[in-house]
Amino acid sequence: MSRDTEKIYIGAMAVIVVTYLIWLGLAVSGGMRPAAPTGDTVTKAEYDALRDQLSQVEAQLSQVQAELDEAQAQITLLSKPPKVGLVLATGGLGDKSFNDISFAGCVRAQEELGVEFDYVEPTAIAEYEGYHRDFAMSGEYMLIICIGFDQADALATVATEYPDQNFAIVDMVVDAPNVASLTFAANEGSFLLGVVAGLTTETGKVGFVGGMDIPLIRDFFEGYEAGALWANPEMEVLEPVFVGDWGDLTKGKELATSLIEAGADGIFAAAGGSGLGALGACDELDVTGYGVDACQCYLNDNMLASMTKRVDNAVYKMILDARVDVFQPGFYGGGLADGWVGMCRLSDEEALWEETFDFVHPEITEDILNKVIEAKNKIIGGDITVPTGYD
């Protein structure tokens, strides 16, 4: 319900309340009060008639009170701030990546739109369905947002059970009439990151650590590899390696170390919390790290750039649409042209991330930035077709 609709509804409820109070006053003061008998005594017929009139008045007063209570309950409900439910991915908050940037979109909505939100941090895929159902059955949430492709099966079940509840899912498509599916052209943003890696490598080799070997993560790699080779055709992008988990920092570090030992002097990690382990290895072994989703360049001095998946912008858009009563289920896909993906060294992003994380990026040459901008413009203009992991 929009704010204008709420005001109209509350106004209507107030009119009902006032009308009933006036009616009640008339009923008590005379119009519906039982007529007093004449004389010192009344007949049984007169007494019974008075009892009937009194019963009718009491019943009408009871109905009035019930309707007043219902109106007050509606007014109280409408006066509460609208709420959103957020079901994070299993990596949880603190991944400095996918979950944290999703959470930031809800915080922005809270600050700018007056929306409250509750969130949960599942630790296993099996927990998703229960959290979805708990949020939905409460009836409190104008929108429930599910972060991550692996929530799709659980959401498909719960969305069917609660057809009047609106949902949104990030990074996967759920074909249901009450679900908005949000996908991101990660390959486009990763292409820009690959350009930076291709132009800064000294060994002529760079590597990639993914969370799981699935099309979603392959999409990052395909764009990264294509961008690096577009900028530097003579270099080598090593075969990607995959952790098999979103929260295994130790294995992420081990896999990054193996790539560095194979000659890579730049590592792109798209692995959720596991990626923090990979980037830690880059710092320890003094090679360049490349972050993902949110800008992760503040993590250590060896970080140079990050591919940004602006889940915060997508989440905020869904909440805004729900807030003003224009939310539409269906498929939403965003890339460079939509501001849903990018790269932190772009001029329209760099200051944002530096202010957010209170750090300063390392220097990068103007020639490299110009090449990145050239690539961005050619992708948006259709002159470069970026390969995808979904082929």
**Model confidence, pTM:** 0.72
Question: If you ran DSSP here, which 8-state letter would residue 90 be given?
Answer: T
Residue pLDDT, tens place only, 167-200: 999 999 999 999 999 999 999 999 999 999 999 9
Type of residue found at 283: D
Token code pair at residue 19: 């009308």
Per-residue model confidence (pLDDT) at position 364: 95
Buried b (16+ CB within 10 A) or exposed e, 182-219: bbbbbbbbbbbbbbbbbbbbeeebbbbbbbbeeebbbb
Same domain for 107 and 39, yes or no, is no
Residue pLDDT, tens place only, 46-58: 777 878 887 887 8
Same domain for 218 and 347, yes or no, is yes
N- to C-terminal Cα distance for the chain?
Answer: 41
Range of the domain at 35: 3-79
Same domain for 268 and 225, yes or no, is yes
Does 2 have pLDDT greater than 60? no
Identify whether 151 is part of a domain.
yes
Token code pair at residue 17: 């309340």
Q: Indicate the pLDDT class of residue 91, thresholds 50, 70 and 90.
A: confident
Query: Torsions phi, psi of 94, nearest 5?
Result: 95, 0
Identify whether 390 is part of a domain.
no
Cα distances (angstroms) measured from residue 186 to each of 125, 134, 166, 327? 23, 31, 26, 24
- Give the span between the Cα atoms of 209 and 267, in whole angstroms: 7
Same domain for 212 and 155, yes or no, is no
Taking a C-beta distance cutoff of 8 angstroms, is the pair 221, 208 a contact? yes
Span of 125-129, 192-196, 270-274 with lowest mean pLDDT: 270-274
- Give the span between the Cα atoms of 268 and 220, in whole angstroms: 9
Helix (H) or strand (E) holding 27: helix 3-29
> Which tops the pLDDT comparison, 6 or 137?
137
Same domain for 164 and 194, yes or no, is no
Residue pLDDT, tens place only, 334-361: 999 999 999 999 999 999 899 888 999 9
Does 273 have pLDDT greater than 70? yes
Same domain for 55 and 172, yes or no, is no
Identify whether 282 is part of a domain.
yes
- Give the span between the Cα atoms of 271 and 269, in whole angstroms: 6
Per-residue model confidence (pLDDT) at position 372: 98
Does 79 have pLDDT greater than 80? no
Identify whether 386 is part of a domain.
no
